Amino acid sequence: MAPPPGTWRSTPKAAEHAAKYNFNLLPEDFEFTAEETNLIQMYDTVKQFEREATRLKEKKARERIYANNQPQQQQSQVDDDDEQNDQDENGKLSPRTPPTAAASAAAALASNKKRKAGRGKKKKPSSAAGVMNDSSDEEESDAESAQSDADQNIDAITLAERRAAKLEALRGEVEGKKNSMTEEELLEEQRRRELLATNDDDGIDDGRVLKRKRPMPSQEGGKSLLSKMMTAQTPPHDFSEKLGLKSWKGTVLFPQTTDELTWSPPELASNPNDGAFLVPMENFDITKAQNGEGPNTLALKFTAPSDSKRFSFNIAGPGHEDFDSILFHFNPRQRQKGGQLVINDKQKGQWGRPVQLPLSQVPLIFGQTSVTLLVQINGDGFDIFIEGKHCARLEHRTELPSKPCTLYLQFPSCDDYGAPENWKVFKAWWGNKESMAKDDISSVAGVNTFDSVHPRKLFIQGLPKIRDDREVELRRAELERIFRRYGGARGVSTLVPKNVGYAFVEFETDQMCNKAFQEMADKYPFKITRARRSKHEALMDKRAAEAAAGNAKAAGDW
């Protein structure tokens, strides 16, 4: 080993050290320059800083261990007292009392210290500069030992202790967030807990958010979130609970037996009454219906396939004559003008002026698993509710019987032209339910409309379409010739539009019109019905009647 740098002093003491330590000489055997002396002092200062940093690091580690163990020590204070009483004379724990996590950590710490004490200190040779004395080596070894003890103290904490400390930290964070939550957030949190838990109250946390326990498979009471999701959709053969059907007073019109599951129109039918569904709606009294008493509501649960073009049902009064007169007609048509809902009435074989609205303005009807439809009868008319939405109203066009009577519900097999209808009825119910119409229904289709039979005009339909003036004149002459004998001296007036298959014939008096309708309805090859009067025509007739009454009064006064 080469001698270290510096000025060598050839003395007997130096020779003795060189022979004894193999040139591992002590600092006093050298003479250093001023720069070397400053360097040695700076090195000593750095080592002091390192020892101080190690001490502070050890202190911080101990504080962290104490902070993590404090919550668990507070919770298990009673258990620690019991363990202390169960110790035997030798200071060992009783076999029936398991050691706590803190005791395990203390035992591990003591074991590590014993192993450290029994471990011999390894001599560290002097550095090349020869600046480390025996005392500095010993202090550095003590610092490293303290650091090793601190690291092993951290390792001595069990996995359960670390989990417990982490759980306590999370609980504290949750409690802090809970205390800072607003009222709306608290309500939302409570609703979330109610959905995820059961209906059994197990306690109140903080007096603010309700805590619940998840039920065991054997427990009863309460519904989990999964069960609520599974029962949220009402089965197709039953009405939704939100309609309050249990509180209604009424009877089930369909199915009447357990064998009947659904009803669908027959595939082959020659007319609407061929194989149609017909059931009476008993105990109808318009006086009680106006007051919210007695049967006033028809409820249907049905489905219409996505490929269905149309379907319909009718409500008729007594003496309908095979539904030749209908009080209420409901008819969705998916393929007509982009989808139309048609609501109408029929008097003596003549359809009235329809109330039409696009299907886009009502809840989905076609292609749904099931649809709920309600028709409420009141003093103003028939109110239609689809999935709870007030969609339309058909005002009364015929005076209803003043005495209690029986109405009739019909599901036709086809339309008037033999086109098949496609839908499936699950359930029909007839009974009493309070009015669902709101105070302001001015925006509902069919409200405040006017429609009545024209007393002096007939409607001829089913005619071939005409396209030019010559054909118009020929048709007008033909109609005037056929109905001339019913028109008196003045004859009849006709209205023949182009590009359509109908025409109108107007008479001078009501009696002439009635006689022509009675005699020609079955003789004429095309269909003849009574025409409808528009609101403008009704106003004109009303003004004419008032003017006639005024003239008569003036003549009497004169």
pLDDT tens for 493-540 read: 998 988 888 899 999 898 999 889 888 877 777 888 888 776 556 666
pLDDT band, very low/low/confident/very high, at 214 (cuts 50, 70, 90): very low
d(CA 310, CA 265): 12
Buried-state track 337-356, b at ≥16 Cβ within 10 A, e below 16: eebbbbbbbbbebbbbbbbb
CA 306: distance to chain centroid? 24
Q: Which two tokens stand for residue 399?
A: 């005076």
Query: Which residue did the predictor score with more confidence, 490 or 157?
Result: 490
3-class secondary structure, 135:
helix
Question: Which range, of 17-26, 114-123, 198-207, 300-309, averages the lowest pLDDT?
Answer: 198-207
Name all domains of the chain by residue range, CATH numbers in brackets. Answer: 32-164 (no CATH), 182-229 (no CATH), 241-432 (2.60.120.200), 452-557 (3.30.70.330)
Q: What is the mean pLDDT of residues 89-106?
A: 48
Q: What integer pLDDT is reported at residue 147 of this predicted model?
A: 57
Q: What integer pLDDT is reported at residue 366 of this predicted model?
A: 96
- Are the C-beta atoms of 411 and 420 separated by less than 8 Å? no
84: left (phi over 0), alpha (psi -120 to 50) or beta: alpha
pLDDT band, very low/low/confident/very high, at 447 (cuts 50, 70, 90): confident
pLDDT band, very low/low/confident/very high, at 295 (cuts 50, 70, 90): very high
85: left (phi over 0), alpha (psi -120 to 50) or beta: alpha
Query: Which residue did the predictor score with more confidence, 73 or 476?
Result: 476
d(CA 103, CA 88): 16
Q: What is the mean pLDDT of residues 446-467?
A: 81
Q: What are 218's strand-pairing partners?
A: none
CA 215: distance to chain centroid? 25
pLDDT band, very low/low/confident/very high, at 250 (cuts 50, 70, 90): confident
pLDDT tens across 364-415, in order? 999 999 999 999 998 888 999 999 999 999 988 888 888 899 999 999 999 9
Q: Which two tokens stand for residue 425?
A: 């009825």
Q: Where are the alpha helices (DSSP H) in 33-100?
A: 34-75, 77-85
